[in-house]
Amino acid sequence: MNEVIFLIVILSAYILPVVIVLNSKRTQGHEKNGWLIGIIFFSWLGLIMYFAIVPKHGHKKKKAVKK
């Protein structure tokens, strides 16, 4: 029984960074896909890099130029 609980905790710790990036509004599109691939391979290290590199407020939309 203890082994099952241990495996659940380890699996949750591995999946948590993926869920955090999926729900984040900091990135979108292919950029988010790239971060997800990095986090799947490097888990917590990738999540730390994600928070350090990606701007906190996400991408700003470009204003339309009036003619």
Domain ranges of the chain: 2-53
Q: How many residues does the chain have?
A: 67
In the predicted model, what is the mean pLDDT of residues 12-16?
A: 91
Residue 65 pLDDT: 66
pLDDT tens digit sequence for 17-56 = 999 999 988 888 898 999 999 998 888 888 888 889 888 7
Q: DSSP readout, 6-46?
A: HHHHHHHHHHHHHHHHHH-SS--HHHHHHHHHHHHHHHHHH
Residue 5 pLDDT: 94
Residue 12 pLDDT: 92
In the predicted model, what is the mean pLDDT of residues 54-66?
A: 68
